[in-house]
Amino acid sequence: MTSRKPDDDIPAAGERASLEQLVRWRRDVRRFKRDPVPEALVEELLRLADLAPSVGNSQPWRIVNVGDADLRAKLARNFEAARTRAGEGYSGDRADLYGRLKLAGLDAAPVHLAIFCDHGVLQGHGLGRHTMPETLDHSCACMVTVLWLAAREAGLGLGWVSIVDPSEVAKMLGVPPDWKFVGYLLLGWPEEEHLDPELERHGWQPRTAFETRYFTAGVSPLGREAKSPRPAEENGAGKVTLVGAGPGDPELLTLKALYALQSADAVLFDDLVAKPILDLIRPGARLIDVGKRGYRKSCKQPDINAQMVALAREGLNVVRLKSGDPLIFGRAGEEIEACEDAGIAISVVPGVTSAQGAAANLKVSLTNRDHARRLQFITAHDRHGTLPKDIDWSAVADSAATTVVYMPKRTLSELTQIALVHGLDPKTPAIAVANATRPDERVFISTIGAIAAVLDAAHPEGPVLVMIGEALRYATARDAAKQGRDIAVAHGVLPEKS
């Protein structure tokens, strides 16, 4: 049964619904009538929802009523872009079904509500969330559930839109930085009623038995025989592991990374991954060069995401191999999101960062307690290959900080000039390292005022990073201590001995 009939267990007009009826009829509504909802009724429902329980009585939810037509149009475009990106992770019949599903009612719903969780909330004095800060988010979910049930009792439907870019939504609405986006809710009179969820009705995913989610402690191992299989396993899909290959020296590879490479069925690797590391991959595994390399022709990120998901859907154990650590300027977030959206199990194996490898070879402490109070990593180019506009230049100019600049080749001159304008001493030590930890590693010891010219003259091949800060003052290049000292003295980095 998919549509409401007169003999369905639904209360008659004027008859109050039971809690069970409300829960059973609480469905994610995506098809709305355009009839307006009285403002007084909306306020009544929101005030009911505001009575929801919250950790420490913190009431962290923040509700933004989006009535402006231009904002709604921008949010609709954001949804369509996110929907398209998510759709690229599916193939075959699943992709066709995804394309037919109506996943939002943005065009017709008369009421749009953006829900945020205020992570800076002072109310509640932190009670109950010192050990579990995520309970703030859970509290917001409780509020949405109360709103959902209250709307259902009033004959209204509510839809929760999650296929949007949270950061873009927050930016569009101009909310404070402590507000975390929870969801975009649509409220209105439902165009049609159904006993079963649309995703189940159209064959996307059926509900499973309650017993698969209920356990008794001490009777049997939890999460095994009785546990419902994950959607990925149910579809015969494999898994994805993001693996950090480190800066290049294969001996810096972690044991966990090595195990992942030796059990992989397919490996998608970047150009910057050193060949000796590729030689450690299990014989017979499919090797796919996805060529992520700055300023050069590369595979597009959505294509990599789609290929990664498609291979996992074939039931393969997929490794996405990245230079350094995948979570540091490695676009890991986009790949994790693609897998999660597709229902593919994903895990991450961290790697030694290029900064760590370079510092180790230089035998220099990046956090020398006599010179550094902070270590910061920044990127020297944004999505468009230009110097990011939002760099905190006061932090870069801080004499008590060590700054490591990733991917600086094209923008280093601009970066150093701006840093000097913001007060960074031009004699601050700066070291550029190309191909850190590899046999062809090259080290350039200079100052922040001259490092761009030194690097431009040398024009080194391969990945480069630049380290800046007083903690580097006594660093010398491996196997070139004399040369390093001479350069440092020439630039006034080290005092000449009397």
- Tell me the pLDDT tens digit for each residue of 349-389: 999 999 999 999 888 889 888 888 899 999 988 877 788 88
CATH 3.40.109.10 range(s) for the chain read: 19-203
- The closest of 180, 106, 199 to 141, measured between CA atoms, is 180
Q: Which of 118, 143, 180, 292 is catalytic?
A: 292
Helices 451-458, 412-421: inter-axial angle, 10-degree rounding: 170
- Residue 34 phi, psi (nearest 5): -90, 0
Among the options 118, 249, 270, 398, which is catalytic? 270
Q: Give Cα 40 distance to the centre of its chain.
A: 39
355-490 classified as CATH 3.30.950.10: yes
Is 275 labeled as catalytic in the residue annotation?
Answer: no
Residue spans in the chain of domains classed CATH 3.30.950.10: 355-490
Three-class DSSP category at 316: coil
pLDDT tens for 100-123 read: 777 778 889 999 999 999 999 999
Q: Does the pLDDT at position 497 exceed 70?
A: no
**Structure-token pair, residue 399:** 């004499």
C-alpha neighbours within 13 Å on the C-beta side of residue 320: 32
What is the reported pLDDT for 16? 59
Beta-strand runs (E) in 222-373:
239-244, 266-269, 286-289, 317-322, 345-349
Long-range contacts of 117-122 (CB under 8 A, 24+ apart): 117/60, 117/61, 117/62, 117/179, 117/180, 117/182, 118/60, 118/61, 118/62, 118/176, 118/178, 118/179, 118/180, 119/60, 119/178, 119/179, 119/180, 120/176, 120/178, 121/58, 121/59, 121/60, 121/178
Torsion sign (Cα): 176, 179, 180, 185: negative
pLDDT at 414: 92
DSSP bridge pairs for 376: 403
Report the 10 Å Cβ neighbour count for 320.
Answer: 30
For residues 216 and 103, give the distance between their C-alpha atoms in angstroms, rounded to a whole number: 36
User: What per-residue confidence (pLDDT) applies to 481?
Assistant: 52
CATH fold for domain 231-352? Cobalt-precorrin-4 Transmethylase; domain 1 (3.40.1010)
Which of 18, 325, 28 lies closest to 183, judged by CA? 28
Cα 413–Cα 416–Cα 422 angle in degrees, nearest 5: 145
Average pLDDT over every residue of 79-90: 86
d(CA 65, CA 69): 12
Instruction: Give pLDDT tens digits for 6-17.
Output: 334 444 444 556
pLDDT > 50? residue 472: yes
CA–centroid distance for 301 within its chain: 14
**Residue 315 pLDDT:** 83
- The mean per-residue pLDDT over the stretch 416-444 comes to 92
Of residues 366, 372, 359, the one with CA closest to residue 399:
372
Q: Which of 368, 381, 460, 383 is nearest to 414 (CA)?
A: 381
- What does the pLDDT average to over 447-452? 92
| pLDDT reported for residue 204 | 74
d(CA 488, CA 447): 8
What Rg value do the Cα atoms of the chain yield, rounded? Answer: 28
Rounded distance between C-alpha atoms, residue 350 and residue 180, angstroms: 26
Tens of pLDDT, residue by residue over 221-248, are: 776 443 333 444 444 568 999 999 999 8
* 8 Å CB contact between 199 and 30: no
Alpha helices in 32-104 (DSSP H): 39-49, 69-87, 92-100
- Of the candidates 259, 209, 230, 257, the residue with the CA atom closest to the CA atom of residue 340: 230
Average pLDDT, the chain: 83
What is the domain class of 19-203 according to CATH? alpha beta
> Highest-confidence range of 53-67, 289-303, 368-382, by mean pLDDT?
53-67
Tell me the sheet residues that pair with 49: none
Those residues with Cβ within 8 angstroms of residue 250's Cβ, 6 or more apart along the chain or in another chain = 274, 276, 277, 279, 280
Q: How many CB atoms lie within 10 A of CB 444?
A: 21
Full-model pTM: 0.49
Alpha helices (H) along 283-353: 301-313, 332-341
Run of H or E including 22: helix 19-24
Q: Is the pLDDT of residue 326 over 80?
A: yes
Which of 118, 308, 341, 407 does the annotation list as catalytic?
Answer: 407
292 belongs to the catalytic site: yes
**Res 232: pLDDT:** 40
d(CA 141, CA 87): 26
Considering only CA atoms, which of 22, 99, 116 is closest in space to residue 63? Answer: 116
| Token couple for 122 | 């002072």
Q: What percent of the chain is predicted at pLDDT more than 70?
A: 82
Give the pLDDT score at 298. 57
Which is nearest to 485 in space by CA: 446, 439, 459, 440? 446
Sign of the torsion angle spanned by Cα atoms 169, 175, 178, 179:
negative
Task: Summarize the confidence of residues 317-340 as an average pLDDT.
Answer: 91
User: φ, ψ for residue 403 (rounded to 5)?
Assistant: -110, 130
Tokens matching residue 421:
């304008």
